[in-house]
Amino acid sequence: MKIYPALDIKNGKCVRLIKGNYNDEIVFNKNPLDVVKEFEDAGSKYLHVIDLDGAKEGDTKIITIVEQIVQQTSLKIQIGGGIRIYEQAKLYLDIGVDRIIFGTSAIYNQKEIIKTINEFNSNKIVVSIDALKGKIKTSGWLKNTKKSIKNLISELEMIGVQSFIYTDIEKDGTLSAPNFEYIKKFRELSKKELLIAGGISSIEDIFKLKKINIDGAIIGMALYTNQINLKNALKNLE
């Protein structure tokens, strides 16, 4: 099982939002690169980066920061937030990012995902499905959509998507444990790679996810508040 430490960047700083609320943030470190190096020193091979300003505005805001991370670490980086067209995806992939996360485009602009898959291969693409009480939200979790998770997964698998992230917005940043009921339902809908984010607060949570055949866990708040020791978690999963 893969562990992805989460790095959310807003105004150039490392932050965490509570339930995706842009007005309810905690700044953990002003220098994202310092945080990333701590993750790498703890033994992490992967990194999950979200550009919160990009997610809100539909633009790419942190290319310079990401380029520094690529150049100064050996981490495999997946990045999302504001990546809605092929050209934005290409910008990150060309500087050495391992995978691109599409979110809003999965609802409104699937042709951009198809183009990126055709140019870079499906192993470079992840689609994030973010939901609140089972309802999909887009544009940095600020907009609602009526499309069902089941139908969306079916559409995306048909165009070649091989990897998904499922985020339970109600749990994100709360340290209240994942919603295993929703996660099991998602797992039943797709056999593709599935990463989970939102509410993971203990090593026990990680093992529960592993038991229901989840491929990876994205962990944020629990790492920043020391409820999960990254080095110990990685050793326990070996």
Q: Which residues are marked as active site?
A: 8, 130
How many Cα atoms are found within 13 Å in the side-chain-facing hemisphere of 202? 5
Kindly state the DSSP code that residue 5 receives in the 8-state scheme: E
- Phi/psi of residue 113, each to 5°? -70, -45
206 neighbors 200 (Cβ within 8 angstroms): yes
C-alpha distances (whole Å) from 168 to each of 43, 92, 108, 113 are: 27, 26, 20, 23
Q: How far apart are CA 178 and CA 171, in angstroms?
A: 6
Taking Cα atoms as reference points, which of 75, 112, 80, 114 lies closest to residue 96? 75
